[in-house]
Amino acid sequence: MQQQKNSAMKINFCIPRHLRIILFAIVATGSLFPFVTPAIALFSGIIFSFVVQNPFPDFSRKNASRLLQASVVGLGFGMNLHEALKTGLNGIGITLLSVCAVLLTGYLLGKAFGVNKITSYLISVGTAICGGSAIATIAPVIRSKEEETTVSLVTVFTLNAVALVLFPTVGHALHLPQQQFGLWAAVAIHDTSSVVGAGNTYGAEALQVATTVKLTRALWIIPLALLSAYLFRNKKERIRIPWFILLFVVAMGIHTYLPLPGTFSDWIVLLSKRILTLTLFLIGAGLSPAALKQTGWRPLLSGVLLWIITGTISLLALIYVS
């Protein structure tokens, strides 16, 4: 075991720093291309850190949070404030109930498995609302460490990949109607992109229902971010208001009320998505083998169990209650 560890260290340190800088720049730039998904960028960063070694660990650590906040604000330019409020008010009761239930279950599982409080909270938020986007939004609010954010994102993205195949298969096996499947996918699959993918595989009506309900849930990230700032405040400091969330709302208002050219808003949203993908590469590149070893397998197991519980209970509720 010690020999393997020494071998890994030799791989890292035998690569000259100037070459590591060049490779870092190439891979980071590559994450800006449209065909690179957030999940690919995150795992590329982790592989880079383990195999090559990040030449700018301090840069990654200091700027990842700022870039996350900037990308969230930019995404607001692609949303209509009226439609967002209207969508958010529809089904407010069931959405609030399900979000609170997932957060409570995630908290209890985290306690049972001895998972770090922040890591457990991020996994729960990602499961309850909109996966990686929710984690990316909440992480800077609660001042999450790189390894805590990365482990949470790895858990969510891994389960997203499984859900794309598993959910349509289970839906067809149980002969779920399209509307029921759309609701199930929106509640139990983490990321909006994976919800859209699973809904599209199942059918046109399932896609429409899944997308609408998921967008409704995604809006809960705004009040949850404000609540998180209060829950995770430093007792000796004043509450840190997550101003970027308020700027996100302002961006929606600007997009709604000001006559901005459509192409201008489209470019801002596109740029924000690419910045978010680049940021996930930086977060992944900041994860060291030592930090991952210290984190252990408990967060992943806790996240998997939370996902199974959420998916099972929501499915049974849709079949026997609705």
pLDDT (average), residues 36-45: 83
Percent of the chain past pLDDT 90, that is, above it, reads 18
The reported pLDDT for the residue numbered 93 is: 67
Q: Which residue type occupies 1?
A: M
Assess whether pLDDT exceeds 90 at residue 245.
no
Coil, strand, or helix at residue 31? Answer: coil
The reported pLDDT for the residue numbered 170 is: 94
Q: What is the pLDDT of residues 44-96, one digit of tens each?
A: 888 888 888 888 877 776 777 778 778 878 878 887 777 666 655 555 666 78
Q: Using CB atoms within 10 A of its CB, is residue 114 exposed (0-12), middle (13-18) or buried (19+)?
A: exposed
The reported pLDDT for the residue numbered 171 is: 93
pLDDT tier, 266 (very low <50, low <70, confident <90, very high otherwise): confident
Q: Give the residue extent of every domain in the chain.
A: 2-320
The reported pLDDT for the residue numbered 310 is: 92
The reported pLDDT for the residue numbered 120 is: 93
Q: What is the pLDDT of residues 5-16, one digit of tens each?
A: 444 444 445 678
Asked if residue 198 lies in contact with residue 168, where contact means CB atoms within 8 angstroms, the answer is yes
Q: Please give the mean pLDDT across all residues of the chain.
A: 81
How much is the pTM? 0.71
**Within 10 A of 260 (CB to CB), how many other CB atoms are there?**
13
